[in-house]
A = this chain, B = another copy of it.
Amino acid sequence: MLRSCAARPRTLSALRAARGGAPRPARDPGPARRSFSTEKVIHKDRSLPNPSWSKDLRLLFDQFMKKCEDGSWKHLPSSECKVPQRIHSFKTYFLDSKPVKEDQLSQARPFTRSYEVGQGFEYAMFYNEDEKRTVCLFQGGPYLEGPPGFLHGGALATMIDTTLGVCTISCMGLFMTANLNINFKSPIPLCSVVVISSQLDKVEGRKVFVSCNVRSVDEKTLHSDATGLFIKLDPEKSLT
């Protein structure tokens, strides 16, 4: 929904992916607690292969890592997130929002990394700066069920939002998703892998137009296509 920029041009989605870290073993007490202090919070990289990844996801990941060797593509890791900076940034823009209680915030987890490994959103993202394209390799786990045996449409919408957000990476500053328009073409079997391919289509002032499609690994099935409109936040200007 919102896209942020920390030390370098980076969307919130990228930061979500980056911050996703803290892959907790089954009996781990939880991810690192956050605070409003100036401490730097470093998370582990959740976008690397783990035992829950299917053969399809591993093969695709290896293929894209291979593409990274010549520098045309870049793997977006889940690390080095400076949480206090981000909190400060968002506070600047939404001073009028009802504050979240400290004890609630201390329990917060980034949505797409809030499940134990393998249960929910397993994904890795790759970015091609020259082509302004982002690819997300996504395996929806068993806790993301909608219809019996199929992925929930909201889970797909979540990954589309995240991927389109990363696709705005070339633009500096803070972004907010203003619109998501998603066509659902064919349901996605639970635990299968899909490829979300997004591209930056147009920039008009503060508006960034992006689009994506979601296909099966063999590319034969078009599961979904979508467009997104992102607005660059400006403290001097209204969002509407």
Chain A residues near B (Cβ < 8 Å): 1-2, 4, 12, 16, 83, 86-87, 90-91, 94, 97-101, 104-105, 107-112, 114-115, 119-120, 142-162, 176-187, 189-192, 239-240
Contact = CB atoms under 8 A, between A and B. Distances in A.
Given A177-B184, A190-B105, A154 B152 contact: no
A28 to B, nearest CB: 15
Contacts of A186: 239
Given A108-B190, A154-B159, A146 B114 contact: no
Most buried by B among A1, A91, A98, A99: A1
B107 A142 contact: yes
**Chain A interface main SS type:** mixed
Q: Which 6 A-B pairs have the closest CB atoms?
A: A154-B158, A1-B153, A111-B152, A2-B147, A157-B157, A114-B143
Nearest to A183: B179
B112 A148 contact: no
23 contacts: A1-B147, A1-B150, A1-B151, A2-B147, A2-B150, A12-B147, A97-B187, A97-B189, A99-B149, A100-B149, A101-B191, A104-B142, A104-B190, A107-B119, A108-B148, A112-B154, A152-B158, A154-B162, A157-B161, A176-B187, A180-B184, A181-B181, A181-B182
